[in-house]
């Protein structure tokens, strides 16, 4: 089993040790963000079976799916792992590129043959521009795995595009990681757009519940039968404490999002203006209110060296794009709190102007 280099060699090693932060890809936990109506005593009286069933029922309602089709997972990444456990030996797996490394490492760990199709920067990473490529490469595949919105670029494809992709890769399952969808005003889930679509999501990125690690998978009945068996190889009954937090948050996710995202309001506009004035950095503005984006380092090939030198000089975290299969870029994350983010952006702009390989 290979290590997940982005997590082990970079994120875990650096991100929580720096003073400033241009890497955070989710909204941070804020102690006041737990809903006031959270009733700890109520959940202490409930059994693991009761909380697990209650969470599955609530997630099924949230997704618009049947109870038997929804499975709580320890974050979205564990949802991908659960799918890999169920499908990893069923045939080749086609994964988008650039890609978040755990998407494909999970399937690799179970011995799957990996294939990749390219999301094209010049086409704003649109899946619609890659339909023919995905159709050709998906022949014989057990599943095709994508993110929407795309990680690392932050671009978003409509349900119509996802439907077209599902049709192009059928009969393979189309797995859509939707963990960033709440950042897109008016966006809807891909659940139900085609019979071969399953979705993965969580409360960790958009709602500040990284500490709770509550995610889920929704899958069509035939695949759900395999996931029902696979779940007992991972958490089994979902942790009661996580279920309790998730159930409370799910009562009004919209209100909760407004609370925990207030500090990033208007931030994309400020980043857009700053990068427009740079001769060394270029980006495609992410969709909606998203807090991740791919930033091109003009004239730079070794993005990891760029990030290391910048971190050493300014005590600020960066995520090199080469870990996502896109050398010469960084995945800019701007979800951090103001005291970690606001001073850091000018430092990056100045550093990029003077940096030479």
- The neighbour count for residue 167, using CB atoms within 10 Å, is 14
For 226, other C-beta atoms within 10 Å of its C-beta total: 16
DSSP-derived 3-state class of residue 330:
strand
The model's confidence at residue 36, banded by pLDDT at 50, 70 and 90, is: low
| Ranges of each domain in the chain | 5-27+261-354, 38-251
pLDDT(116) > 60: yes
CA distance from start to end of the chain: 34
Least confident of 95-109, 209-223, 244-258, 294-308: 244-258
Query: Is the Cβ–Cβ distance between 161 and 126 less than 8 Å?
Result: yes
pLDDT digits (tens, 9 = 90+) for 40-68: 677 777 788 888 899 999 999 999 999 99
> CA distances (Å), 319 to each of 55, 129, 292, in order?
34, 26, 10
Does domain 38-251 match CATH 3.20.20.10? no
Judge whether 5-27+261-354 and 38-251 match in fold. no
Tens of pLDDT, residues 121-138: 999 999 999 999 999 999
Q: Provide CB contacts within 8 A for 113, sequence distance 6+.
A: 91, 92, 93
Place of tokens 């060394």: 280
Are β-strands 20-21 and 114-118 bridged in parallel, bridged antiparallel, or unpaired?
Answer: unpaired
Is the separation of the CB atoms in 237 and 56 below 8 Å? Answer: no
CATH class of 5-27+261-354: alpha beta
């Amino acid at each position: 089993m290979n290590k997940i280099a982005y997590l082990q060699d970079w994120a875990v090693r650096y991100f929580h040790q720096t003073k400033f932060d241009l890497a955070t890809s989710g909204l941070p936990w804020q102690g006041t963000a737990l809903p006031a109506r959270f009733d700890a005593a109520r959940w202490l009286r409930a059994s693991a079976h009761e909380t697990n069933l209650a969470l599955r029922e609530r997630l099924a309602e949230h997704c618009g799916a049947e109870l038997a089709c929804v499975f709580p997972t320890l974050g979205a990444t564990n949802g991908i792992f659960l799918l890999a456990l169920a499908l990893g030996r069923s045939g080749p797996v086609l994964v988008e590129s650039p890609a978040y490394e755990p998407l494909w490492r999970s399937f690799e760990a179970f011995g799957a043959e990996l294939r990749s199709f390219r999301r094209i920067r010049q086409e704003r990473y649109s899946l619609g521009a890659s339909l023919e490529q995905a159709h050709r490469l998906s022949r014989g595949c057990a599943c095709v795995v994508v993110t929407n919105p795309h990680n690392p670029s932050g671009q978003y494809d409509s349900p119509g595009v996802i439907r077209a992709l599902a049709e192009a890769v059928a009969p393979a399952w189309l797995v859509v990681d939707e963990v960033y969808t709440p950042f897109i005003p008016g966006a809807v889930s891909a659940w139900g757009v085609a019979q071969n679509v399953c979705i993965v999501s969580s409360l960790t990125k958009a709602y500040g519940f990284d500490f709770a690690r509550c995610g889920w998978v929704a899958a069509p009945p035939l695949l759900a039968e395999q996931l029902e068996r696979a779940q007992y190889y991972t958490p089994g009954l979902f942790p009661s404490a996580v279920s309790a937090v998730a159930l409370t948050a799910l009562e009004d996710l919209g209100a909760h999002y407004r609370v925990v995202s207030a500090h990033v309001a208007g931030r994309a506009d400020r980043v857009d203006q700053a990068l427009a004035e740079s001769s060394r950095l270029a980006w495609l503005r992410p969709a909606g209110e998203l807090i991740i984006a791919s930033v091109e380092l003009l004239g730079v090939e070794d993005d990891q060296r760029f990030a290391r030198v910048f971190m050493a000089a300014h005590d600020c975290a960066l995520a090199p794009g080469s870990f996502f299969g896109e050398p010469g870029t960084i995945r800019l994350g701007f979800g951090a709190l103001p005291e970690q983010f606001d001073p850091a952006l000018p430092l990056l702009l100045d550093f990029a102007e003077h940096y030479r390989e």
